[in-house]
A and B are shown apart, each in its own frame.
Chain A
Amino acid sequence: MFSRKTVLIVGLLVAVTINLIVLSLSSRHRFPSEGIGQLAVGVVAPFQLVVTNSCRFLRETWQHYFQLVSIAERYDQLSRELDMATAHGAECAELRRSNRRLRALLHFQDAVRFEMVAAEVVGKDPSPWFKTVIIDKGYKQGVRKGMPVVVPQGIVGQVIGAGRYFAKVLLIIDANNAVDALVDRTRARGVVTGTAMGQCALKYVLRKEDVRVGDLLISSGMDGVFPKGLRIGFVSGVIRRNSGIFQDVTVTPFVNFEKLEEVLVIRNEPERPKVVATQ
């Protein structure tokens, strides 16, 4: 009834249409299918772990046995830095005590103690367009989807899928991630999302807000994922256009995602501070 060519063309059009519909639905539902995702991670991650550990062993062997010449100088430098850090630590301890006293006076709760689990990064996303990493902890170790992931330098991302022994973490430099943030100096609020080049942008900051290059960005705690006060990055560029109600703010994250090796997963949910009404 229909020629082979017609059937082929119609078939192709139907296939393209279905494909576009599926992609459109999938891109709006932010995260990929959990079943296949867990299976894929479960299959590949053990091999990634073996290769990562092998590379780490070789790198440490090289650093320990072939760089002895610089070790003595590095030792002296580290000793000086340790002395400075110890003094700074004592100062921070005193500030922490003062902070606790003042919060008690204002009837605030104490800062939440985080229950964390340390994990190693064993693999990265195969695509250059999406920024995820795989860590060697899963729900067996208490890691769940939606948990924030941090390092001492700042926020890394959040868990988007957890298998038995491995989990997938979406980094803050990915365009699909969003962190509700505050400018520490002025308390201007915005949302930090990733950009194509591995940087971040602070979006939805009104033009009237005072944001300057060098300003520190911290998590606001209002997104229900990241606890309040965690460092994100610093403002590296501000553009206020003549039109529009928002300003374009570029953010450089504190975390070096190129050299991410160990991370911390925060297991307890962030609490919002209880504000007691004053008389």
Chain B
Amino acid sequence: MNLLFYLILWLVLTLFQTVLLPLFPVFRFMYDLQIPLVLFLGLFRPLREAIVAVIVIALIMDGLSGGPFGIYCTTYFWLFGLVTGLVGFLHVRNRLLLPFVVVCGVAFENAVGWLVRAMGTASFAVPPGSGRVLVVQMGWAAVTGPPMLLGMDWLTRHWEQWIALRQARRDG
């Protein structure tokens, strides 16, 4: 049931990203809204259920995107692995550090995108204008990322409470 909930979250974020936000020019250089979802799964959710969700989300995003296959799988798997590993060493769940975590996630995704582009074109030159895109994305990530993470955590807890309540009524 939790997997279904994560997929619904993913679908809502995808619709925002691909249909609603492109309608507004101010969001032209918005970052990938799935980054906070992947970070949320790595920081706040059990490994067993989170990794399945990350695999499914990454595969579908790779199929949806026009980029080379594997770019989202690479980004999301490594990002998920990094935050899961770091949770044991650093207080990355600390609310003060959340903007930094999201910004690093966005920077990592851009680095993967640059690497893939370099592999495809055999040129390591940074495309003109990329710096500005990256700065804008990191700005948006710092502002909107932490509220998204905390919002998803809140929603997930209420979802689990509702499921538990339903189960208790069914049993008792």
Q: Which residues of A are interface residues toward B (Cβ below 8 A)?
A: 19, 22-24, 26-33, 36-41, 43-44, 47-48, 51-52, 55, 122-132, 134, 160, 168, 170, 174-176, 195-197, 258
Closest 4 CB pairs of A and B: A40-B63, A132-B66, A196-B127, A27-B120
Question: Which residue of B11, B60, B65 is within 8 Å of A130 (Cβ)?
Answer: B65
* B65 and A47 contacting across the interface, CB-CB below 8 Å: no
* A130 and B66 contacting across the interface, CB-CB below 8 Å: yes
* A51 and B15 contacting across the interface, CB-CB below 8 Å: yes
Q: Does B25 contact A (CB under 8 A)?
A: yes
* B63 and A39 contacting across the interface, CB-CB below 8 Å: yes
* A28 and B63 contacting across the interface, CB-CB below 8 Å: no
* B69 and A127 contacting across the interface, CB-CB below 8 Å: no
Q: How far is the CA of A102 from the CA of B25 in the complex (A)?
A: 47
Q: Which residues of B contact A30 (CB under 8 A)?
A: 68
Q: Give B23-50 interface residues, CB cut-off 8 Å to A.
A: 23, 25, 28-32, 34
* B11 and A44 contacting across the interface, CB-CB below 8 Å: yes
* B137 and A127 contacting across the interface, CB-CB below 8 Å: no
* B63 and A48 contacting across the interface, CB-CB below 8 Å: no
Q: Which residues of B contact A36 (CB under 8 A)?
A: 59-60, 62-63, 69
* A128 and B30 contacting across the interface, CB-CB below 8 Å: yes
Q: Which residues of B contact A128 (CB under 8 A)?
A: 28-32, 133, 137
Q: Which residues of B contact A28 (CB under 8 A)?
A: 119-120
Q: Please choose the segment from B97-105, B110-118, B151-159 that sits at the chain A interface, where 4 or more of its residues have CB less than 8 A away.
A: B110-118
Q: How far is the CA of A101 from the CA of B18 in the complex (A)?
A: 48
Q: How far is the CA of A22 from the CA of B69 in the complex (A)?
A: 9
Given contacts A23-B115, A26-B68, A196-B129, contact A123 B61 (CB under 8 A): no
Q: How far is the CA of A43 from the CA of B66 in the complex (A)?
A: 16
Q: Give B57-75 interface residues, CB cut-off 8 Å to A.
A: 59-71, 74
List 22 A–B pairs whose Cβ atoms lie within 8 Å, in order of A's numbering: A22-B70, A27-B68, A27-B117, A28-B120, A32-B68, A32-B69, A36-B63, A39-B63, A41-B63, A47-B15, A124-B18, A124-B22, A125-B66, A126-B14, A126-B32, A127-B71, A128-B29, A128-B31, A130-B65, A131-B66, A195-B129, A197-B128
Q: How far is the CA of A168 from the CA of B23 in the complex (A)?
A: 19
In the complex, the chain A residue whose C-beta lies closest to that of B64 is A40
